[in-house]
Structure 1
Amino acid sequence: MSDLEPIAPTDALELYLTDRSSDLSDWTIRSHRSRLSTFIEWCRDSEGLENLNDLTGRTIHRYKIWRRDEGDINTVTLKTQIDTVRVFVKWLETIEGCPPDTAAKIKSPSLSPEENIRDTELHTDAAEEMLDHLTKYEYASLRHVTLSLLWHTLMRRGAARAIDLQDYDRDEQYIHIVHRPETETPLKNGQGGERMVALPNTMCDLLSDWIDDQRPDVTDDYGRSPLLATTQGRVHVTTIQQYVYMATRPCAYGVACPHDQDPDTCAAAVERYDASKCPSSVSPHAIRRGSITHWLRKDVPQPAISDRADVSATVLDAHYDERSEQEKMEQRRAFLDDI
C-alpha cells in the first residue's frame, strides 16, 4: 500500500478519460464518462471513499449488488457497467492508484444465451419510412446514401466506409468490397470478407447522383477516393453510427413520438449527440439485423444472404434471424405447398 500514490476518485476519472481519448472514439469516451460517473458518485456517497488507494474487490462487489438492486437495469446493461469499471480499475493499477490485481477480482455478471443475443432490429416498416423521408427531404445526401447502402447491402459500417469510387461499377451495377488493411480500411473477416455485392437499380441511381452532384472531390490520407466522403476525406465509422442514431428516431422521419415526448424540447430529438438516447433509435448493427431478417421473410435463400452479408449460416441463425419459430414454420408450409 505504501507504493501507491493517493488519488481522489473524481481526479482519477478525469485522468482516465484524458488518457483514453487518443485511442477511443468520442462516443465511447462519453459512454465511459456516464457509466463511471455513477460508480464514482457511489464510492463517494455510499462508501465515503476519498482515495482510490483504498479500493478493493469487495468494494466493487458491493457496487455491483447496489447497481443491480437499485438501478432498475437488466443483466446486459449491468454487465456493460461492470465491464467498464473493470477497464477503469485496470488502468488505475498502471498509475499506482489502487492495489495491484484489483481488476482481476471483479466478476462480470454472466449472461444467459438469450441475454447474450441482442434482439434489437430495425423493422421493415420503420426502415422504409426512414428511407422514404430521406429520399424526399435529403436526396443524395451523404446520410441518405449511407443509410440506403447499409439497408440494401446488409454490410457492416466498416465495409461501407472502406468502399472507394473505383469499387463501384455503374455499368454492371455492383460494389466490390475489398480488404485494404495497409491503408486503414480492413474488413472484419479479412480477405475472406471480400466480395461483389449486386445493387438494385434504385441504389445505383442514388449512388450515381451522389457521385455526380453531391460528393466532395476529396481523397483520404492515402490518396484513395472514398465513396462515402465528407469535405475532410473518408467518412469515420463514428459518423456513420451517428447518422444511424439520428435517422432512426421516429420523429426524424415524421412519425409521432411513441414515447410521449415533445420533439421541440426532447434532448434526443434536438441534440445531435443525444440521438442514441431515444429509445426507438437503433445502431448500425440493428439495421444489418433488420435487413437480414427482412430478406429471410421474403424467402431469399439463406446461403445467398450469408454470402451477401459476409456471415456464416450458424452466426446468422444465432444472431441475425429475428423470425419467430411460427413464422419459419409458415414459410416452410407455403414453400412445401407449392411443390
Structure 2
Amino acid sequence: MTDELEPISPAEAKEMYLNARKREVSESTLSGYHYRLKHFIRWCEDVEGLDNMNDLTGRKVQQFKTWRREDGDLKPITLEGNLDALRVFVRWCESVDAVTPGLHEKFEALMPSLDKNEERSNDILPVDEAESILSYLRRFEYASREHVLLELFWHTGCRLGAVHALDVADYYPDYARLELCHRPESGTALKNGEEGERMVALDPDVCNVLDAWIAHQRHDMTDEHGREPFITSASGRMVRSNIRETVYKVTRPCYYSDECPEGREIETCEGACYTGYSKCPLNVSPHAIRRGSITHFLSEDVPEQVVSDRMNVEADTLNKHYDKRSEEQKVEQRRSYIDDV
C-alpha cells in the first residue's frame, strides 16, 4: 500500500490542508487548526525525525500522544482536542494519498477517557462568550426554552436546582422579580434549604423574554403536586438532567457560531450529536455559567455583599470558589475607589 502513496513532508501536508480549508472556515477557525497541528509538526521534525507522511502509523501516533501529554503536561480534555484535530487532518491526508487509508480510524482507541465533572470543576463561562450565546438566542430563538434558561442562569446566577424549582407563580412581572422557594415536600428543594429562599430582581429585557415564554412557548400544565412549573417540557416540569443537557447544547461554539475552535468537523463530531452534547470539549455546565455570572457582577463593581445575597453564597465561599477575577483586575477596581482620596 505504501507504494501507492505519494511522498509529502508533514509541514507541506499541513500547509496544503490549511489552504484547502481556507475558503470553508473563518480565519479564527483556521488559526485553531494551525495551533493544534503545529505540535505534531514539531514532534515530526524535532523528535521523531519523520519527514514523510507516508510513514505515519498507528504506533507512531501513540508515540506522539505520549510525547504531547508529557511535553505540555496536558489535561486529558486538552490532549483530546489535540488528537481530534490530528485525526481530522489525517483523514484529509488519506484523501490526497499521503497516509495509509483508514489510519484515522485508529484514533478512537487513543482518545483519553474524560470525567466531565472532574475536568470541568473549575470551568467558567466568560462574559464575551455569554454575550455571543445570548445574542444568537435573542435573534434567532427568542423566548425559546433554550433562550429562557440561558437568560435565567446568566442574569440571576442561580443554581440549576433553583431554576428547576421555579413555578409560574414565583414570577412577579409587575415587580420584575423572581421568588426562590424551598419546597422539599414536592420535589424541589433548594441547596441551602430555607436559607436559600430569596427574591431576585430582574432586568426589564429579561422580563420581556419570560413574558413571551409564558404567553407563547411554555407548555401549559401542572405537575403531580398541582403546581405550575415555570420551565416545562411536553411531559411536565423539565427534569434537572435535561436542563443540564440543554445548557451543554447551546454553549457549544458550533451551536451559536457555526464554527469549532478545536478544528473538529461539525458534521461528524460526537459532541454535536443529540446524545453527545456533554462530549464537546468547549461547552459548559450550568454551574460554569453561575461562576461566570458572579465574576461578571463583581467585575462591574457590584458590591460583594449584594452579589453574595443575590446568588446565595457566603462571602468567603464566593471569594474562594466563584470570583475568577485576576489579581490585576481586582487591584485596578480598588484603585478607582481611592484615586481621589
Higher relative contact order (CA 8 A, sep 6+): 2
Which residue is 1:278 aligned to?
A: 280
1:312 counterpart = 2:318: no
CA distance in 1, matches of 2:332, 2:182: 39
1:165 counterpart = 2:159: no
Deviates more, 1:116-125 or 1:168-177: 116-125
Equivalent AA in structure 2 for residue 273 of structure 1? T
Structure 2 unaligned regions, length at least 5: 1-68, 78-117
Name segments (4+ residues, structure 1) moved above 2 Å: 72-76, 115-119
> 1:259-286: per-residue Cα shift (whole Å, max 9, x none)?
01121121112x1221121111111110
Could you tell me how far 1:121 is from its partner in structure 2? 0.3
Equivalent AA in structure 1 for residue 171 of structure 2? Y
**2:181 paired residue among 166, 178, 186:** 178
Could you tell me how far 1:188 is from its partner in structure 2? 0.2
Which residue is 2:336 aligned to?
A: 334
Counterparts in 2 of 1:170 and 1:223: CA distance versus 1, 3 Å: same
SS at match of 2:200: strand
SS at match of 2:228: coil
- Equivalences for residues 9-24 of structure 1 within 5 A: none
TM-score normalised to structure 1 length: 0.65
CA distance in 2, matches of 1:221, 1:138: 30
Could you tell me how far 1:256 is from its partner in structure 2? 2.4
CA distance in 2, matches of 1:116, 1:147: 22
SS at match of 2:199: strand
Could you tell me how far 1:233 is from its partner in structure 2? 0.8
Which residue is 1:45 aligned to?
A: none
Note the aligned Cα RMSD (angstroms). Answer: 2.3
1:117–1:319 CA contact under 8 A, matched in 2:
no
SS at match of 1:176: strand
CA distance in 2, matches of 1:75, 1:140: 37
CA distance in 2, matches of 1:255, 1:318: 35
Which residue is 1:126 aligned to?
A: 129
Which residue is 1:206 aligned to?
A: 209
Alignment size in residue pairs:
232
CA distance in 2, matches of 1:117, 1:218: 35
CA distance in 2, matches of 1:118, 1:242: 17
CA distance in 1, matches of 2:177, 2:217: 20
Which residue is 1:253 aligned to?
A: 256
TM-score normalised to structure 2 length: 0.65
**1:225 paired residue among 211, 228, 243:** 228
Structure 1 unaligned regions, length at least 5: 1-67, 77-114
> 1:119-138: per-residue Cα shift (whole Å, max 9, x none)?
31000010011011111111
SS at match of 1:305: helix
Could you tell me how far 1:255 is from its partner in structure 2? 5.1
Equivalent AA in structure 2 for residue 278 of structure 1? C
Which residue is 2:200 aligned to?
A: 197
Equivalent AA in structure 2 for residue 312 of structure 1? E
1:242–1:273 CA contact under 8 A, matched in 2:
no
**2:247 paired residue among 237, 244, 251:** 244
Percent identical residues: 48
